[in-house]
Amino acid sequence: MKLTEIAARLRLQNLTPELPLDGCEVAGGHVSDLLSDVLANAPRDGVLVTIQVHMNVLAVSVHAGLAAVVFAAGRAPEDAVRAKAVEEQVPLFTTSASAFDVAGELYALGLRGRRG
């Protein structure tokens, strides 16, 4: 599924509008606030849903090869994290919805977590 479609359907606020989203395919999703869990279990080219907003979230997202990060519950990172995301080409989004609700919406769109 295209990242642009996910952002539109979930009414996500784009925190990195400088980054092009066209052609960005999302392979699945993962919801976690434990970064070691993200490294071990998030699907490559997936979207991470979290309430953590610090720089380590971005570092883990780059290392895990994630397509984007969605900050739930109205959370948003500091400007330094946003700037580093632009540098690393990792789109960031925020939503007032809970992580649970975002996960449900992603599931309803057909996205799944890592299998096996």
- pLDDT tens column, 63-96: 999 999 999 999 999 999 999 999 999 999 999 9
Distance in angstroms between the alpha carbons of the first and the last residue of the chain: 21
pTM of the model: 0.97
Distance between CA atoms of 65 and 102, rounded to whole angstroms? 20
* 100 vs 37: CA distance, rounded Å: 17
Report which residue type is found at 17: P
Mean pLDDT in residue range 16-28: 95
Q: Which domains does the chain have, with CATH numbers?
A: 3-108 (3.40.1390.20)
User: Is residue 59 predicted with pLDDT exceeding 80?
Assistant: yes
Residue 90 and residue 28: Cα distance in Å, rounded?
16
Q: Which are the contacts of 65, defined by CB distance < 8 A and separation ≥ 6?
A: 44, 45
